[in-house]
Amino acid sequence: MSGAPSVGSPPRPAAGDRQDGSDRAAYRATLVELAQADPRIWCLDSDMGGLEKQFEAVLPEQYVDLGIAEANLMSVGAALASTGILPFVNTMAAFASARALEQVKIDIAYHRLPVRIVATHSGLSAGQLGPTHHAQQDLAAMRTLPHMTVMTPADAAETVQMVRAAAYLPGPVYIRLGRGPTDPVYDGDAGFTVGEAVQLRTGDDVTIVAAGSHPVLFALEAADRLAAQGVGATVLNMHTIKPLDVAAVVRAAERTAGIVTVEDHSLLGGLGGAVAEAVAEHRPTRVLRVGVSDAFASRPGGHRDQLTAGGVSPDRVVAAAEAVLSGRPLPPADRPDRAGEHDRTVHSHTVHHSQTVKESAS
């Protein structure tokens, strides 16, 4: 197995983009449309729910549910891709980027196979499901794999265009989706092109680079608040993490006083890391990163609550922009969710041990 088969050209897309507030719903509807037009497009599922009602009901011969077996999911996807199939494999980001990472690396990326990994519940979007289902590390893991394209849409409209484009890209693709509906960023056509950032606001003072639904919305809100203070902020939707739009980053470094990055991901290795690397190599300027601080979430809450507790919010973006302009350092984000973390951890381990002993005794 030495390389990916030819994927050819895309069929004419079905009319009408899907946008109901959920990138997951937009993905499902778009995948069905693509697969109806091209029998090479298959859906491989991991007991995620939802897709079987839309995809299997219409195209049962192009749908396989492998159950909760993510490593096997990736290997089967690779095997099918080696025969000319264009598989979309669906699982949660936490499992795609950790449990199944070896299979993604060796079975898919090493052979440059056209497997499209669609990872939902990314970042902290799994909310109350907690750290087992949160994915603070997936961008860092996936963008280090050779041949892998890594993307995350800002809303449902961009998801539609991203999925259509991804279907016929050479090599493997990682698409990072959230969980629930979010407010739209685009009114109609998102103007999506792989590897090209979209400028959503124009300003001469500071640049805010964001990726993903909540981060882009936070960036826009922060830009509006800064504008009310007389500060002009350029906002870039960096939907493609790899290949990064280095030219857009360099232009931002040249035209404004500095860059703020915003992401629903660890501060380490994600969008902020990619932008900082590009700046250091091509046009040094100050970069301040707004992302999830280096800790696991330890309190229940919805997506936005988890982000705020983790250090990602419009307030934090505004503070980072002000720090860029003033030359001051950006203090570490407060983590109210970590108060008493050690006590809770010890208690949790004690309870778990007690339950294990009781279960063993019975």
Model confidence at 263, pLDDT cuts 50, 70, 90, reads: very high
232 with 172, same domain: the answer is no
Task: Give the pLDDT confidence of 219-243 residue by residue, as tens digits.
Answer: 999 999 999 999 999 999 999 999 9
Token duo for residue 174: 């990682």
Q: Mean pLDDT across the chain, nearest whole number?
A: 87
Same domain, 135 and 45: yes
Nearest CA among 331, 321, 327, 329 for reference residue 205: 321
Question: What is the rounded distance in angstroms from the CA atom of residue 92 to the CA atom of residue 105?
Answer: 17
Q: Please state which of the ranges 15-19, 139-143, 220-224 shows the lowest mean pLDDT.
A: 15-19
The answer to whether residue 18 sits within a structural domain is: no
What percent of the chain shows pLDDT beyond 70?
85
Domain containing 51: what range?
Answer: 23-176
- Alpha carbon distance 321, 246 (integer Å): 21
The two tokens of residue 123 are 């970042």
* Residues 171 and 202 placed together within one structural domain of the fold: no
Task: Specify if 59 maps to a domain.
Answer: yes
Same domain, 109 and 213: no
In the DSSP assignment, the letter for residue 168 is: T
Do both 305 and 258 map to the same domain? yes
pLDDT value, residue 339: 44
Same domain for 225 and 159? no
Q: What is the model's pTM? A: 0.86
pLDDT on residue 338: 54
Mean per-residue pLDDT, 165-173: 98
H or E element that contains 116: strand 116-120
Query: pLDDT per residue over 45-79, tens digit each?
Result: 988 876 667 888 899 999 999 999 899 999 999 99
User: How sure is the predictor about 17, in pLDDT bands with cuts at 50, 70 and 90?
Assistant: very low
Domain count, the chain: 2
- Residue 347 clears pLDDT 60, i.e. is over it: no
Domain-located, residue 234: yes
* CA–CA distance, 153 with 234 (Å, rounded to integer): 19
Q: What's the average model confidence in pLDDT over 125-147?
A: 90
Give the mean pLDDT of 170-177. 98
> For residue 337, is pLDDT > 60?
no
The arithmetic mean of pLDDT across residues 97-107, rounded, is 96
158 and 268, same structural domain?
no
Q: In the predicted model, what is the mean pLDDT of residues 292-312?
A: 88
Ordered alpha helix ranges (H), 283-336: 303-310, 314-326
29 and 170 inside one domain:
yes
CB-based contact 298:342 (threshold 8 Å):
no
Q: Lowest mean pLDDT of 48-62, 108-122, 158-172, name the range.
A: 48-62
Q: Does the residue 72 lie in any domain?
A: yes
Q: What is the predicted pLDDT for the residue at 129?
A: 80
Q: Which long-range contacts (CB under 8 A, 24 or more apart) does 69-74 make?
A: 70/46, 70/95, 70/96, 70/99, 70/100, 71/99, 71/100, 71/102, 71/103, 72/103, 73/44, 73/46, 73/100, 74/100, 74/103, 74/104, 74/107, 74/108, 74/115, 74/117
CATH number of the domain within which 115 lies: 3.40.50.970
Confidence of residue 19 (pLDDT cuts 50, 70, 90): very low
Judged on CB neighbours under 10 Å (0-12, 13-18, 19+), 332 is exposed
Same domain, 132 and 255: no
Residue at 283 is within a domain: yes
